[in-house]
Amino acid sequence: MADLMTACRLPAEWEPHAATWIAWPHRRATFLGPFAAIPPVYERLARLIARYEPVRIIGSREVLAAPRAALADAADVSFVELPTSDSWVRDTGPVFVVPRMRTAGTGPRAVCWNWNAWGGKYPPWDADAGVSRGIAQHLGLSIDAPGIVLEGGAIETDGDGTLLANERCVVDPKRNPDLDRSRMEAALRKHLAIDRVIWLGGELAGDDTDGHVDQIARFVAPGRVLAARQPDRLDSNHGSLDANLAILAAATDARGRRLDVTPIDIPARFAFEGTQLPASHLNFLVGNGFVAVPVFGGPTDGPALRTLEACFPGRTIEPFDCSTLVRGRGAIHCITRDEPSVASSH
C-alpha cells in the first residue's frame, strides 16, 4: 500500500470533475421541521450543477422514482440504484485519490472509510455503510479500505499535500475508540498521501457532525484558506472560530508556506424554531466553472459572495438559498461528493 499511495495524491476540489454525486433525501430523521420542503432543494441544486457538469443521483429504486420524474427534462443527470440510509453523501461517499502522474490507463482510486453515522447518532445506518464501496464499484475503481471511521466533510485539502482536519470529530472515541491523534494522523498520511495535517478545533452550534471542517475552514488555493468568523460575541460560535483563526494564522503548509487566511463572517444565531443551526458560507461547492455558495438571506451573504468571487476568477458564483437545507445541519458541500476526472493528475 505504501508504494501505491506514494503514486497518488488527494486532489483539490477546484481541479476538474468527472461528475458530482448526490444521494436523494428520503429520511426525516436528520431534518428539523416539515420534510416535504427538502427534496425540492435537492432538485434545484441538481439542476444548477448539471448546467456545468454531470450529476449522478443515488438511491434505492423506490427512492429514485421521485427524482427520475422531477428531473426527467434535465440534461446530464443520471441515476444509480444504490440503497441509502440518508442523504449526506459528502460523508458516506468515497474519498477519491488520483495518480500523481497522468499515464495511459490510470485514473482515480477510491478510499472507502467506515461509517457509523457521526459516532452512532442516527441508527440505522447499514445502507449508508455500503455507499462508498457501491459508488467505487459502479465506477470500476480500485478500493482502499482503511477500516477506520472518517467522514468526507471532516477533511479538506489544497491538492498539494496539506490537509485541514478538526480534531474534535476526527479523533473521537465514538468513531475510532482505539486511535489517538498520532495514529489517526498516520492513517491520514498513509491513505490520502498527505504530508502535513493542520488540526483545528471547535464546532458550530447545532452541528451534529461534531465540527466538520467544511463548515469552518476551506482552501481556495495552495497556501490560501478562507475561515469562518463570528464577530457577534453573544453567539456561541465566536470563541472557537477565533481560536481557529489564530491556529491558521500561525500555520505553515506542506510546502513550508505561511497560510494566507481570509475570514468570512457567518450568520449570527441563525435558528429554526429556537434551535441554532450551523449556517455557514464556507459550505460551498467548487465545480467545473462555478462555485455554488450557501446564502441565508442576511447581511453576511453579500460580503461572502464577493470574497469567493475574488478567490475564483473565471468561475461563475452561484448563490444558493440554504435557509431550508440547513435544517439538516448542513448545506451544499455536505450533500454533494465531487468525483475528480483523470485530468486532475499532474
Catalytic residues: 334
Q: What are phi and psi of 220, to 5 degrees?
A: -120, -5
Residue 169's identity, in one-letter code, is C
Alpha helices (runs of H) in the chain, residue ranges in sequence order: 2-6, 38-50, 61-70, 89-92, 117-120, 131-139, 167-170, 181-192, 238-249, 301-311
The vertex-96 CA angle with 52 and 263, nearest 5°, equals 70
- Residues 218 and 340: their CA atoms lie apart, in Å, by 18
Evaluate whether 266 touches 235 at the Cβ level (below 8 Å). Answer: no
Residue 94 DSSP class: P
Question: In terms of Cα–Cα distance, which of 250, 246, 206, 245 is closest to 228?
Answer: 245
Cell of 217: 475552514
Contacts of 218 (CB under 8 A, 6+ apart): 156, 164, 225, 226, 282, 284
- Residues 278 and 226: their CA atoms lie apart, in Å, by 17
Contacts of 154 (CB under 8 A, 6+ apart): 91, 165, 166, 169, 170, 209, 212, 213, 214
